[in-house]
Amino acid sequence: MAKTLSHTNDPLVSQLDRTNAILIFSPDSDIAKSLAMLLEDHYTIEIETNLALLEEHVNRLDPPLLLVDLYPLPPDILKTVEVLKRRKSKNPVVMFHVFRNSRPEIEAAIRNVSDLILYKPINAELVSELVSVLMAIHFTTRTEGGRESPMQ
């Protein structure tokens, strides 16, 4: 399921917003909707809940920020990690994950494809502040002549 949320009637702003849409991935549509509702007043949001469609969605959208709520089971986590390894742009990735001390290989794989990991349960206020900072970095670096983002 892909969903775009935009809150403007100006076509130029809408087009710009879409090129700067945050992509939220979660296999749980309720979590995806909750994250979208938390951020939709300030950002254009797209949602993906189907892992089979995630890679195409990431590559098409090329979001400045990707929020990923990981599956609970290790095989599905590894599938998500593989998709993220193949993305064409190395946009900042924030993962939401339940830490498993008993699976260090899973934890290492997650660290290899993410810029930040927030361990569940997640504090909504922290997520909102974090997204605000990361998007400010994106817009600042974009307006300063296209230099690479410090997150890359």
pLDDT tens-digit series, residues 82-96: 999 999 888 899 999
Q: What is the pLDDT of residue 139?
A: 83
The alpha carbon of residue 93 and the mean position of all alpha carbons in its chain are separated, in whole angstroms, by 5
Identify the band that residue 101 occupies on the pLDDT scale cut at 50, 70 and 90.
Answer: confident
- Give the Cα separation of 109 and 76 in Å (integer): 12
Dist. CA 54–CA 93, nearest whole Å: 13
pTM summary value: 0.82
| 39-58: average pLDDT | 96
Confidence of residue 46 (pLDDT cuts 50, 70, 90): very high
Cβ neighbours, 10 Å, residue 55: 17
Pairing of β 116-119 and β 66-69: unpaired
Q: How confident is the model at residue 64 (pLDDT cuts 50, 70, 90)?
A: very high
| For the chain, domain boundaries | 2-143
State in words which class domain 2-143 has: alpha beta
| For helices 51-61 and 74-86, angle between their N-to-C axes, nearest 10 degrees | 20
